[in-house]
Amino acid sequence: MDIAEYFRGKRIVITGGVGSVGREIFACLIELEPELIRVIDNNESALFEMEIEYRGNKGVEFYHCDITDEREMSRTFSDMDLCFHCAALKHVPSCERSPFSAINVNIQGSEVVGRVAIAQGLEKVIFTSSDKAVNPTNVMGTSKLMGERLFTAMNFLRSKKTKTVFACTRFGNVLGSRGSVVPLFAQQIESGGPVTITDERMTRFVMTMKEAADLVIESMMLARGGEIFITKMPVLKIVDLARVMIARLAPIANVSPSSVETKVTGSRPGEKLWEELSTDEESNRLLESEKFLIVLPSGHTSEQRQEYKYDWITTQPSTIIYHSDRSELMSDSEIDDMLLREGVLPNRLRNRALENL
């Protein structure tokens, strides 16, 4: 079964559907001929703009709804098949300053999503997590880790009447998403600098918006219950990203690259110098495919791991520890190639950069 066949005729709900990743998932899904996509978000302005953009499409509905409101969630989840749970507070500094909001949205909101999905009889729900959930050092990562644990544990709530499958995806930094480092650096370069870096040693896993959406969508197809799907992705040094962006974008902004300075500002509260996508403990129940690492639910023995099979991909047991400080770094040319992919740079800058190739 291919992706188009799997999603054709499905009724799908996306929480946080006007966010960067949620919107990209929507854009991919709408090409696969589902019967209905419901977009749920509490950002009224962005929701209105997206509704205007897709006006006339009978297979799309938009609802203003907070994921912690169980009554409204029950209404919007009614008669649906699948859910992509993307709604969350995702920025480390914001969650450090507003920890109760992070707990409310990322933990209690995920609990509501799970309860409602079970009550409404959805087939599958995918939780979008973060590398910051691995050995977390901040409120955001800790709340995401608890969301993962909730979704894994909710698989034990299945019964003869409700058989909802819960699984997670875990990925790194989505380049070009709102609040990410790429649009910030682009703005600073256009202003003549300086480009602000918190620490020159900092490394990060990175992926494009399209890669993130493809991961989540394929995970929905593969999920059998309780897994965490991790996309294999490249690693870069933030200081290397800044240098390549200055070289690429400064001439476009009529700024001399040599005049754009970088300024080290120091790590922010809760911020890591590196990121992790899997742990020592998880390596005992890890499968690896060409594109994915798959963390099986706790309790799987080595023998069970050998027997765990998926219909559409080939896997084998693995013990890899996915750590950005131990991975090969992207070269300048690889970073430059990634910058020019669709959805990474702001469109106006990407178009001008492509013209200058």
Residues 27-65 pLDDT 10s: 999 999 999 999 999 999 999 999 999 998 889 999 999
Q: How confident is the model at residue 33, as a pLDDT?
A: 92
pLDDT tens-place string over residues 136-192:
999 999 999 999 999 999 988 776 777 899 999 998 888 888 778 999 999 999 999
- Pair 36, 60: CB distance under 8 Å: yes
> Among residues 124, 132, 144, 272, which one is catalytic?
132
Q: How confident is the model at residue 300 (pLDDT cuts 50, 70, 90)?
A: low
Q: How confident is the model at residue 186, as a pLDDT?
A: 93
Is the pLDDT higher at 161 or at 254? 254
Q: Domains of the chain, with CATH numbers?
A: 3-172+208-232+277-326 (3.40.50.720)
Residue with tokens 């707990």: 103
Average pLDDT over residues 266-278: 85
Is the pLDDT higher at 275 or at 268? 275
CA distance 14 to 119: 17
What is residue 63's DSSP assignment? E
* Residue 40 burial (10 A CB sphere; 0-12, 13-18, 19+): buried
Q: How confident is the model at residue 1, as a pLDDT?
A: 64
Buried b (16+ CB within 10 A) or exposed e, 201-228: ebbbbbbbbbbbbbbbbbbbbbbbbbbb
Confirm whether pTM is higher than 0.85: yes
pLDDT tens-place string over residues 77-128:
999 999 999 999 998 999 999 999 999 999 999 999 999 999 999 999 999 9
The percent of residues above 70 in pLDDT, for the chain, comes to: 97
Active site includes 132?
yes
CA distance 118 to 125: 10
Is the pLDDT higher at 205 or at 177? 205
Buried b (16+ CB within 10 A) or exposed e, 150-166: bbbebbeeeeeeeebbb
Which of 184-188, 196-200, 268-272 has the least mean pLDDT?
268-272
Average pLDDT over residues 252-281: 88
pLDDT tens-place string over residues 59-74:
999 999 999 999 999 9
Q: How confident is the model at residue 277 (pLDDT cuts 50, 70, 90)?
A: confident
